[in-house]
Chains A and B, each alone.
Chain A
Amino acid sequence: MHASICDTLSDLVQNALEAGATRVELDVYTGPDKVSARVTDNGKGMDEATLKQAVEPFYSEAGKHDHRRVGLGLPLLYQTAQAVNGTVDLRSTPGQGTTVAFALDAKHLDTPPLGDLAATVLGLMTFRGDYDLVLTRKTPTAGYSVSRRELTDALGDLSEASNLVLARDFLESQESSITEE
Protein backbone atom coordinates (compact mmCIF):
# COMPACT_ATOMS: atom_id res chain seq x y z
CA MET A 1 0.00 0.00 0.00
CA HIS A 2 1.24 3.48 -0.80
CA ALA A 3 1.89 5.91 2.04
CA SER A 4 -0.53 8.46 0.57
CA ILE A 5 -3.32 8.62 -2.00
CA CYS A 6 -1.24 11.17 -3.90
CA ASP A 7 1.32 8.45 -4.59
CA THR A 8 -1.40 6.40 -6.24
CA LEU A 9 -2.51 9.45 -8.25
CA SER A 10 1.10 9.92 -9.38
CA ASP A 11 1.21 6.33 -10.61
CA LEU A 12 -2.07 6.65 -12.50
CA VAL A 13 -1.26 9.96 -14.19
CA GLN A 14 2.22 8.72 -15.12
CA ASN A 15 0.60 5.63 -16.65
CA ALA A 16 -1.68 7.90 -18.67
CA LEU A 17 1.20 10.02 -19.97
CA GLU A 18 3.24 6.93 -20.79
CA ALA A 19 0.24 5.70 -22.79
CA GLY A 20 0.63 8.76 -25.01
CA ALA A 21 -2.24 10.80 -23.58
CA THR A 22 -2.43 14.46 -24.60
CA ARG A 23 -5.19 15.19 -22.11
CA VAL A 24 -5.49 13.76 -18.62
CA GLU A 25 -8.34 14.65 -16.30
CA LEU A 26 -7.76 14.14 -12.60
CA ASP A 27 -10.82 14.45 -10.35
CA VAL A 28 -10.20 14.27 -6.62
CA TYR A 29 -12.89 14.31 -3.95
CA THR A 30 -12.40 14.16 -0.21
CA GLY A 31 -15.34 14.02 2.17
CA PRO A 32 -15.99 12.84 5.71
CA ASP A 33 -17.02 9.36 4.57
CA LYS A 34 -15.36 8.90 1.22
CA VAL A 35 -12.16 9.67 -0.64
CA SER A 36 -12.42 9.16 -4.36
CA ALA A 37 -10.53 9.96 -7.52
CA ARG A 38 -10.84 9.43 -11.23
CA VAL A 39 -8.11 9.61 -13.84
CA THR A 40 -9.34 9.81 -17.43
CA ASP A 41 -6.94 9.87 -20.35
CA ASN A 42 -7.08 9.87 -24.12
CA GLY A 43 -4.04 7.62 -24.47
CA LYS A 44 -3.76 4.48 -26.49
CA GLY A 45 -5.98 2.38 -24.22
CA MET A 46 -5.78 -1.34 -23.54
CA ASP A 47 -7.50 -4.38 -24.94
CA GLU A 48 -9.09 -6.91 -22.59
CA ALA A 49 -6.03 -9.14 -22.40
CA THR A 50 -3.73 -6.21 -21.52
CA LEU A 51 -6.27 -4.95 -19.01
CA LYS A 52 -6.16 -8.28 -17.18
CA GLN A 53 -2.36 -8.26 -17.15
CA ALA A 54 -2.19 -4.64 -15.99
CA VAL A 55 -3.62 -5.52 -12.61
CA GLU A 56 -1.07 -8.28 -12.04
CA PRO A 57 1.84 -7.31 -9.78
CA PHE A 58 5.08 -6.61 -11.64
CA TYR A 59 3.49 -6.56 -15.10
CA SER A 60 4.64 -3.69 -17.26
CA GLU A 61 4.18 -3.39 -20.98
CA ALA A 62 7.38 -4.19 -22.88
CA GLY A 63 9.27 -1.05 -23.79
CA LYS A 64 7.08 1.20 -21.66
CA HIS A 65 9.89 2.22 -19.34
CA ASP A 66 13.45 3.02 -20.34
CA HIS A 67 15.10 1.57 -17.28
CA ARG A 68 12.87 -1.11 -15.82
CA ARG A 69 10.53 -3.87 -16.79
CA VAL A 70 8.17 -4.15 -13.85
CA GLY A 71 5.26 -2.09 -12.57
CA LEU A 72 3.12 -2.01 -9.43
CA GLY A 73 0.84 1.01 -9.85
CA LEU A 74 -2.54 -0.63 -10.46
CA PRO A 75 -1.93 -3.70 -8.25
CA LEU A 76 -1.10 -1.41 -5.33
CA LEU A 77 -4.35 0.47 -5.90
CA TYR A 78 -6.35 -2.77 -5.92
CA GLN A 79 -4.58 -3.91 -2.77
CA THR A 80 -5.40 -0.63 -1.02
CA ALA A 81 -9.03 -0.73 -2.09
CA GLN A 82 -9.37 -4.30 -0.88
CA ALA A 83 -7.85 -3.43 2.47
CA VAL A 84 -10.08 -0.44 3.23
CA ASN A 85 -13.50 -1.42 1.86
CA GLY A 86 -12.91 0.47 -1.35
CA THR A 87 -13.74 -0.05 -4.99
CA VAL A 88 -11.78 0.30 -8.21
CA ASP A 89 -13.31 0.71 -11.64
CA LEU A 90 -10.94 0.28 -14.57
CA ARG A 91 -12.22 0.80 -18.10
CA SER A 92 -10.27 1.06 -21.29
CA THR A 93 -10.88 1.14 -25.01
CA PRO A 94 -8.00 0.61 -27.42
CA GLY A 95 -7.35 3.79 -29.36
CA GLN A 96 -9.59 5.90 -27.14
CA GLY A 97 -8.16 5.91 -23.65
CA THR A 98 -8.47 4.64 -20.13
CA THR A 99 -10.40 5.64 -17.04
CA VAL A 100 -9.42 4.51 -13.57
CA ALA A 101 -11.75 5.45 -10.75
CA PHE A 102 -11.52 4.47 -7.14
CA ALA A 103 -13.34 5.20 -3.91
CA LEU A 104 -12.05 4.47 -0.43
CA ASP A 105 -13.70 4.51 2.97
CA ALA A 106 -12.38 7.70 4.57
CA LYS A 107 -13.15 6.42 8.04
CA HIS A 108 -11.26 3.16 7.68
CA LEU A 109 -8.21 3.13 9.92
CA ASP A 110 -5.91 1.98 7.13
CA THR A 111 -7.03 4.42 4.44
CA PRO A 112 -3.92 6.39 3.54
CA PRO A 113 -3.96 10.17 3.96
CA LEU A 114 -4.44 12.26 0.83
CA GLY A 115 -0.86 13.57 0.96
CA ASP A 116 0.51 16.72 -0.61
CA LEU A 117 -1.78 17.23 -3.59
CA ALA A 118 -0.27 20.57 -4.65
CA ALA A 119 3.27 19.16 -4.83
CA THR A 120 2.04 16.01 -6.55
CA VAL A 121 0.11 17.86 -9.25
CA LEU A 122 2.97 20.30 -9.77
CA GLY A 123 5.31 17.38 -10.31
CA LEU A 124 2.88 15.76 -12.72
CA MET A 125 2.82 18.96 -14.75
CA THR A 126 6.58 18.87 -15.35
CA PHE A 127 6.89 15.84 -17.58
CA ARG A 128 8.22 16.40 -21.07
CA GLY A 129 5.74 16.83 -23.86
CA ASP A 130 2.72 18.81 -24.90
CA TYR A 131 -0.15 17.55 -22.80
CA ASP A 132 -2.85 19.02 -20.64
CA LEU A 133 -3.52 17.88 -17.10
CA VAL A 134 -6.79 19.14 -15.67
CA LEU A 135 -7.29 18.86 -11.92
CA THR A 136 -10.84 19.13 -10.60
CA ARG A 137 -10.82 19.13 -6.83
CA LYS A 138 -13.90 18.90 -4.68
CA THR A 139 -14.94 18.62 -1.07
CA PRO A 140 -18.58 18.57 0.08
CA THR A 141 -18.59 22.38 0.33
CA ALA A 142 -15.92 23.74 -1.97
CA GLY A 143 -13.78 23.06 -4.99
CA TYR A 144 -11.48 24.41 -7.64
CA SER A 145 -10.18 23.47 -11.02
CA VAL A 146 -6.82 24.17 -12.60
CA SER A 147 -5.10 22.95 -15.73
CA ARG A 148 -1.55 22.73 -16.95
CA ARG A 149 -2.55 24.80 -19.96
CA GLU A 150 -3.91 27.62 -17.77
CA LEU A 151 -0.72 27.69 -15.74
CA THR A 152 1.42 27.64 -18.87
CA ASP A 153 -0.63 30.51 -20.33
CA ALA A 154 -0.20 32.53 -17.14
CA LEU A 155 3.42 31.71 -16.40
CA GLY A 156 5.13 30.41 -19.52
CA ASP A 157 7.48 27.44 -19.43
CA LEU A 158 6.65 25.23 -16.46
CA SER A 159 10.13 23.77 -16.35
CA GLU A 160 11.71 27.05 -15.27
CA ALA A 161 12.39 27.18 -11.54
CA SER A 162 10.93 30.66 -10.96
CA ASN A 163 7.70 29.61 -12.70
CA LEU A 164 7.57 26.36 -10.76
CA VAL A 165 7.82 28.25 -7.49
CA LEU A 166 4.89 30.48 -8.50
CA ALA A 167 2.87 27.51 -9.75
CA ARG A 168 3.50 25.73 -6.46
CA ASP A 169 2.32 28.79 -4.49
CA PHE A 170 -0.78 28.92 -6.68
CA LEU A 171 -1.66 25.25 -6.23
CA GLU A 172 -1.01 25.41 -2.48
CA SER A 173 -3.28 28.46 -2.19
CA GLN A 174 -6.08 26.64 -4.03
CA GLU A 175 -5.71 23.56 -1.88
CA SER A 176 -5.55 25.45 1.41
CA SER A 177 -8.59 27.54 0.43
CA ILE A 178 -10.77 24.44 0.40
CA THR A 179 -9.20 22.48 3.22
CA GLU A 180 -9.33 25.43 5.63
CA GLU A 181 -13.05 25.87 5.17
Chain B
Amino acid sequence: MAKLTLDDLRKLREEKQKAMEKRDPSNKDAQVIVGMGTCGIAAGAKETFNAIIDELDAKGITHVLVRQTGCMGLCHSEPTVEVVVPHMPVVIYGNVNIETAKQIVTDHIINKKLIDNHICDKPAMDIVR
Protein backbone atom coordinates (compact mmCIF):
# COMPACT_ATOMS: atom_id res chain seq x y z
CA MET B 1 0.00 0.00 0.00
CA ALA B 2 1.35 3.44 -0.92
CA LYS B 3 1.90 5.71 2.05
CA LEU B 4 -1.08 8.03 2.38
CA THR B 5 -0.78 11.65 3.48
CA LEU B 6 -3.38 13.61 5.38
CA ASP B 7 -4.19 15.46 2.13
CA ASP B 8 -4.80 12.11 0.42
CA LEU B 9 -7.09 11.26 3.28
CA ARG B 10 -9.07 14.49 2.90
CA LYS B 11 -9.51 13.81 -0.83
CA LEU B 12 -10.70 10.27 -0.19
CA ARG B 13 -13.12 11.60 2.39
CA GLU B 14 -14.50 14.15 -0.08
CA GLU B 15 -14.98 11.43 -2.69
CA LYS B 16 -16.86 9.30 -0.19
CA GLN B 17 -18.98 12.21 0.90
CA LYS B 18 -19.96 12.93 -2.68
CA ALA B 19 -20.93 9.30 -3.14
CA MET B 20 -23.08 9.48 -0.03
CA GLU B 21 -24.46 12.98 -0.41
CA LYS B 22 -28.00 11.73 -0.90
CA ARG B 23 -27.96 10.20 2.55
CA ASP B 24 -28.16 12.16 5.76
CA PRO B 25 -25.06 11.42 7.84
CA SER B 26 -26.05 13.86 10.60
CA ASN B 27 -28.89 11.70 11.88
CA LYS B 28 -26.94 9.19 13.96
CA ASP B 29 -29.46 7.37 16.08
CA ALA B 30 -27.88 3.94 16.54
CA GLN B 31 -24.73 2.73 18.23
CA VAL B 32 -22.56 -0.34 17.98
CA ILE B 33 -20.09 -0.74 20.84
CA VAL B 34 -17.41 -3.40 20.60
CA GLY B 35 -15.83 -4.74 23.80
CA MET B 36 -12.09 -4.47 23.38
CA GLY B 37 -10.77 -5.52 26.75
CA THR B 38 -7.96 -8.05 26.87
CA CYS B 39 -10.52 -10.83 26.87
CA GLY B 40 -12.26 -9.44 23.78
CA ILE B 41 -9.07 -8.88 21.85
CA ALA B 42 -7.83 -12.37 22.68
CA ALA B 43 -11.10 -13.76 21.30
CA GLY B 44 -10.90 -11.76 18.06
CA ALA B 45 -12.58 -8.42 18.82
CA LYS B 46 -10.32 -6.53 16.39
CA GLU B 47 -11.52 -8.73 13.54
CA THR B 48 -15.09 -8.23 14.75
CA PHE B 49 -14.61 -4.45 14.84
CA ASN B 50 -13.15 -4.48 11.32
CA ALA B 51 -15.99 -6.66 10.02
CA ILE B 52 -18.59 -4.28 11.45
CA ILE B 53 -17.08 -1.12 9.97
CA ASP B 54 -16.51 -2.84 6.62
CA GLU B 55 -20.11 -4.08 6.48
CA LEU B 56 -21.57 -0.71 7.50
CA ASP B 57 -19.38 1.01 4.93
CA ALA B 58 -20.28 -1.51 2.21
CA LYS B 59 -23.99 -1.05 2.87
CA GLY B 60 -23.57 2.74 2.96
CA ILE B 61 -25.04 3.04 6.44
CA THR B 62 -24.24 6.40 8.00
CA HIS B 63 -26.63 6.63 10.93
CA VAL B 64 -24.67 4.27 13.18
CA LEU B 65 -21.91 5.31 15.57
CA VAL B 66 -19.21 2.70 16.08
CA ARG B 67 -17.31 2.81 19.36
CA GLN B 68 -15.16 0.56 21.40
CA THR B 69 -15.20 -0.01 25.11
CA GLY B 70 -13.24 -2.07 27.61
CA CYS B 71 -14.31 -5.36 29.14
CA MET B 72 -18.07 -5.57 29.65
CA GLY B 73 -17.77 -8.32 32.25
CA LEU B 74 -18.78 -11.10 29.87
CA CYS B 75 -15.36 -12.59 29.26
CA HIS B 76 -16.84 -16.06 28.74
CA SER B 77 -18.69 -14.86 25.63
CA GLU B 78 -16.15 -12.64 23.90
CA PRO B 79 -16.11 -10.97 21.48
CA THR B 80 -19.09 -9.00 22.77
CA VAL B 81 -20.94 -6.23 20.96
CA GLU B 82 -23.61 -3.95 22.40
CA VAL B 83 -26.16 -2.68 19.89
CA VAL B 84 -28.42 0.28 20.54
CA VAL B 85 -31.10 0.87 17.92
CA PRO B 86 -34.17 3.08 18.51
CA HIS B 87 -37.40 1.18 19.22
CA MET B 88 -35.47 -2.03 19.86
CA PRO B 89 -34.17 -3.49 23.12
CA VAL B 90 -30.56 -2.71 23.94
CA VAL B 91 -28.77 -5.99 23.32
CA ILE B 92 -25.33 -7.36 24.11
CA TYR B 93 -24.40 -10.04 21.63
CA GLY B 94 -21.75 -12.61 22.58
CA ASN B 95 -19.41 -14.81 20.57
CA VAL B 96 -19.53 -12.32 17.72
CA ASN B 97 -17.28 -13.69 15.04
CA ILE B 98 -16.97 -12.08 11.60
CA GLU B 99 -20.12 -13.79 10.32
CA THR B 100 -22.20 -12.70 13.30
CA ALA B 101 -20.76 -9.19 13.00
CA LYS B 102 -22.13 -8.99 9.47
CA GLN B 103 -25.45 -10.35 10.72
CA ILE B 104 -25.62 -7.58 13.30
CA VAL B 105 -25.51 -5.06 10.46
CA THR B 106 -27.92 -6.83 8.12
CA ASP B 107 -30.37 -8.43 10.56
CA HIS B 108 -30.37 -6.16 13.60
CA ILE B 109 -29.59 -2.72 12.17
CA ILE B 110 -31.14 -2.96 8.72
CA ASN B 111 -33.95 -5.52 9.16
CA LYS B 112 -34.63 -4.78 12.86
CA LYS B 113 -34.51 -8.44 13.88
CA LEU B 114 -32.66 -9.86 16.87
CA ILE B 115 -30.09 -12.57 16.25
CA ASP B 116 -30.85 -15.86 17.98
CA ASN B 117 -28.28 -17.72 20.07
CA HIS B 118 -25.98 -14.75 20.58
CA ILE B 119 -27.92 -12.61 23.05
CA CYS B 120 -26.21 -12.34 26.45
CA ASP B 121 -27.68 -11.47 29.79
CA LYS B 122 -26.26 -8.32 31.32
CA PRO B 123 -23.36 -8.97 33.73
CA ALA B 124 -24.36 -10.39 37.09
CA MET B 125 -24.96 -7.78 39.78
CA ASP B 126 -22.08 -8.98 41.96
CA ILE B 127 -19.72 -8.04 39.11
CA VAL B 128 -21.42 -4.71 38.44
CA ARG B 129 -21.30 -3.68 42.12
A interface residue numbers (CB < 8 A to B): 2-3, 7, 10-11, 14, 18, 65-69, 72-73, 76, 116, 119-120, 123-124, 126-128, 150-151, 153-157, 159-170, 172-174, 176-177
Contact = CB atoms under 8 A, between A and B. Distances in A.
Interface of B: 1-4, 6, 8-10, 12-13, 16, 20, 25, 28, 34, 36, 38, 41-42, 46, 49-50, 52-54, 56-57, 61-62, 64-73, 123, 127-129
A72 B39 CA distance: 11
A173 B62 contact: no
Nearest to A158: B66
A176 B1 CA distance: 7
Contacts of B62: 160-162
B1 A173 contact: yes
Given A69-B127, A126-B67, A151-B9, A166 B16 contact: yes
Given A123-B68, A128-B67, A161-B57, A170 B36 contact: no
Contact of A67 (B1, B67, B71): B71
Contacts of A66: 128
Given A160-B62, A166-B12, A10 B36 contact: yes
Contacts of B49: 119, 123
Given A10-B41, A66-B128, A173 B46 contact: no
Given A2-B38, A173-B3, A162 B68 contact: no
Contacts of B54: 161, 165
Given A123-B49, A161-B64, 10 more contacts: A76-B38, A151-B9, A154-B13, A160-B25, A161-B54, A161-B62, A161-B66, A164-B57, A169-B1, A169-B12
B120 to A, nearest CB: 12
Contact of A154 (B10, B20, B71): B10
Contacts of A68: 71, 73, 123, 127
Nearest to A176: B1
Nearest to A155: B13
24 contacts: A3-B42, A7-B41, A67-B71, A68-B71, A68-B123, A72-B38, A76-B38, A123-B68, A126-B67, A127-B69, A154-B9, A154-B13, A161-B64, A161-B66, A164-B57, A165-B57, A166-B12, A168-B50, A169-B1, A169-B4, A170-B6, A172-B1, A176-B3, A177-B3
